[in-house]
A and B are shown apart, each in its own frame.
Chain A
Amino acid sequence: MTSTVPAELRYTKSHEWIKRERDGSVTVGITDHAQHALGDLVFVETPDAGRTLATGEACAVVESVKAASDVYSPLAGLVAAANASLAEAPEKINSDPYGEGWLFRLTPADPGAVDGLLDAGAYARLLEETAE
């Protein structure tokens, strides 16, 4: 089972993706690989706007019938917005993990920190290694 890893995004080892927005904020979601591993999502909990997050802080929960997983903030910063539509339609993460299934938007404390995250090539290699 191969999962998609869009080239323009950044990634974490814990399977979050990060997209740089024009206004300097970043959008965060979970990867195609992660949604596959979890199965049909039935519940998502997103962080409230205005919350300050540390790097690696557990800040969201994605839950399927057989598993529940924390989502960790890839960067330190302030939550600018959360995807409220997931409360009614968590399956968006399964159908469109990199689009409509986004989790939250973050204003990073250090905009340069995004460069320290995994690029698509490194994340794809990580997936191959774990598959072995």
Chain B
Amino acid sequence: MNTTTSPRPAEPTIFDLSQPGRSAAAQLPPALAADVPPALRRRRPPLLPEVSELQAVRHFTRLSQMNFSIDTHFYPLGSCTMKYNPRGCNQYAMLPGFLARHPLAPESLGQGFMACMYELQQMLTELTGMQAVSLTPMAGAQGEFAGVAMIRAYHRARGDLGRTEIIVPEAAHGTNPATATMCGMKVIEIHCTAEGDCDLEALRRVVGPNTAGIMLTNPSTLGVFERTIADIRGLVHDAGGLLYYDGANLNAILGKVRPGDMGFDVIHMNLHKTFSTPHGGGGPGAGAIGVAARLQPFMPVPVVGRDGGRYRWLDERDLPQSIGRLSAFMGNAGVLLRAYIYMRMVGREGMRRIGEFATLNANYLLARLRQAGFDAAYPTRRATHEFSLTMKRQARDQGVTAMDFAKRLLDYGFHAPTTYFPLLVPECLLIEPTETESKEALDGFVAAMVAIEREATADPAHVKGAPYTLPVRRLDDVRAAKHLDLTWKPAA
């Protein structure tokens, strides 16, 4: 490239397109007069762009085209369950009647919406084997928060004030320890065995009268089923602690095993994973929680109840021991509607097939990659709905890391797997194909991995320089963090 000209961004910012006096005139309401007290008036207008409607439409459409997405690319991001988001779920959740409904409208003007929410609560209860469900948490992390807060409230309600420790396996997602801290708990991390199970000896050493509970993901973040779950349940329950189920990987066992039957006291579900609501470029999610009977009084409100033939909101008056409210209204209602529609289309038998075909796809992909010479992190174990590869050998022999493979995959038209998580696996690629991908898509991914491996041997520098075909090449993260440029500023 010509280094004497200053580089130009692929798409200018919306502020670069702005011209004083321009507007999207069709959007302007009538000019009315109102009397703002002089001391409270804004003196200078905010920095908002002045563009035509077409300019805005074209700008944001172009930006969208710079993204990878499920609709455009295979997206095997481990632990994120990037499955097809059916368009019908979106269309019917965005019917005008649903969009126009004010959250505080009288219950008589919400029976249709509330029926959906009530039935969603019922279906999730059945599917997880729990006693009751609250839909209010707005993301997985908030569901986790609700879960640990309920555990805390349960112990306190019993006067059992010494239980201030939450046990977390070291393989756990970072939200688990962060959540425990937000709930005022002390985090005790324990090891995993070489085969990826929880180390029961380590658990035995730390569990006791201070144990409030344990947070587990099963299948674990290592992509394997926690085989010792019955022993863990015994140890923790016998010590007076409760079991928390992180539903990040629920897709793997949907319809096959129910967390309630495994003995969990509280769970959260990521509806944006298992029940196929869109990830939206990073949110919104929905983190519904399910509880065993002893935690039911502590559920976050509101939940939908039913009196005779009428649906009504249950709030603090119905659940006086509730941990309270986590959102301004009732959570991410529109996401919940999409999950409801999805579950109705998938139905009873389909639920079971989700777990089955997610597992089939993961095991097939793992088998093909191993046949092609890649190294499984846990070679003696079955894949669940996902599995981890270790690129330790490639990093050592060719200097080509898991990150380099990830970046080069983008050039081949595949979104990268999750990299460097779980932290326990060196040079880790965590791969989750989901049930909605065809055999051909999986075969294409294997072909790309094989081609990159070949490149890594012949010309490692080429792989390390990837990607080449995207709007930008690798970005300078150090510069981004050291010279913070977080807002656009007009040229001086």
Contact = CB atoms under 8 A, between A and B. Distances in A.
A–B contact (CB under 8 angstroms) = yes
Interface stretch (B14-22, B358-366, B462-470, B475-483): B475-483
Interface size class of B (residues with CB under 8 A): under 10
B405 to A, nearest CB: 17
A64 B478 CA distance: 8
Contacts of B478: 40, 42, 64-65
Contacts of B477: 65
A64 B481 CA distance: 9
A64 B479 CA distance: 11
- Main secondary structure on A side of the interface with B: strand
A109 to B, nearest CB: 27
Nearest to B478: A40
A43 interface: yes
Contacts of B481: 42-43, 63, 65
Interface in A36-63: 40, 42-43, 63
- Main secondary structure on B side of the interface with A: helix
Interface in A55-92: 63-65, 90
B281 to A, nearest CB: 22
A40 B482 CA distance: 10
Contacts of B480: 65
Nearest to B477: A65
Nearest to A42: B481
A43 B481 CA distance: 8
A48 B480 CA distance: 27
Interface in B435-492: 477-478, 480-482
B187 to A, nearest CB: 14
Central interface residue in A40, A42, A63, A64, by most chain B CB within 10 Å = A42
B297 to A, nearest CB: 38
Interface string B237-278: 000000000000000000000000000000000000000000
Nearest to A89: B482
Contacts of A65: 477-478, 480-481
A63 B481 CA distance: 10
Contacts of A43: 481-482
A63 B480 CA distance: 13
Contacts of A42: 478, 481-482
Nearest to B479: A42
Contacts of B482: 42-43, 90
A76 B482 CA distance: 32
Interface in A1-48: 40, 42-43
Nearest to B420: A66
A65 B478 CA distance: 6
Contacts of A64: 478
A40 B480 CA distance: 12
A14 B328 CA distance: 44
Contacts of A90: 482
A42 B484 CA distance: 10
Contacts of A63: 481
A65 B476 CA distance: 10
A42 B482 CA distance: 5
A37 to B, nearest CB: 13
Interface string B57-101: 000000000000000000000000000000000000000000000
Contacts of A40: 478
A43 B480 CA distance: 12
A70 B480 CA distance: 22
13 contacts: A40-B478, A42-B478, A42-B481, A42-B482, A43-B481, A43-B482, A63-B481, A64-B478, A65-B477, A65-B478, A65-B480, A65-B481, A90-B482
Given A42-B481, A65-B480, A65-B481, 10 more contacts: A40-B478, A42-B478, A42-B482, A43-B481, A43-B482, A63-B481, A64-B478, A65-B477, A65-B478, A90-B482
The 6 closest A-B pairs by CB, nearest first: A42-B481, A65-B477, A40-B478, A42-B482, A65-B481, A65-B478
Interface of A: 40, 42-43, 63-65, 90
